[in-house]
Amino acid sequence: MAGARRDQDAAPPELDRLIHEPARLAIMANLFVVDSADFVFLLNRTRLTNGNLSSHMSKIEAAGYVEVTKEFVDRKPRTMYRLTRRGRAAFNSYRQALLSRLEAAEGEPGTEP
């Protein structure tokens, strides 16, 4: 019993602040459900502006969550993005952490059933 109470009182798992930002969360979620995608696909799915998406992608790439492949097709540059194994693990952990927080919040007094 005491152990169970200790588990309930334990601090919920930390949320990855890099992923927690809404735009980056949308990017990560969209990359998580596909194998790889290009910049235009992410623009379309996230509805971010070009500069915004570029900026967020740089941060995600710097964290090692995304691998970037640049190639030229019909003399036009095409940038493909794919979540790395680390990025997938980080996103999974983030989801688990968020879900456990939400589940914990549901049990608290004053919350809607």
Partner 1 sequence: MDTLDLKGIEDRAYGTRSNNGLLDIVIGLGLLGYGLLADIGAYLVPSYALVIALLLQKFVVTPRVGRVRFAEDRRIRERKGIVLIVLLVLIPIPLGLMLFFADKLEGWAAFVSTNTVLILGLFVALGMFAAGWAKSAARFYIYGIMAVLNFGGAQLFAQPHTWPMMSTGAIITVVGIVLMARFISANPVQKAEAA
Shortest approach of partner 1 to residue 11 CB, angstroms? 21
Is residue 89 near partner 1 by the rule CB under 8 A?
no
Shortest approach of partner 1 to residue 4 CB, angstroms? 26
- The HSE-up count of residue 37 (CA atoms within 13 Å, CB side) is 18
Is residue 98 near partner 1 by the rule CB under 8 A?
yes
**What string of H, E and C letters represents the secondary structure of 80-94?**
EEEECHHHHHHHHHH
Among 13, 18, 26, 59, binds partner 1 (CB under 8 A): 26
Provide the Cα torsion 58, 59, 63, 68; round to 10°.
-20
Among 2, 4, 10, 33, binds partner 1 (CB under 8 A): 33
**Distance, CA of 10 to CA of 79 (rounded, Å):** 43
Is residue 34 near partner 1 by the rule CB under 8 A?
yes
Is residue 67 near partner 1 by the rule CB under 8 A?
no
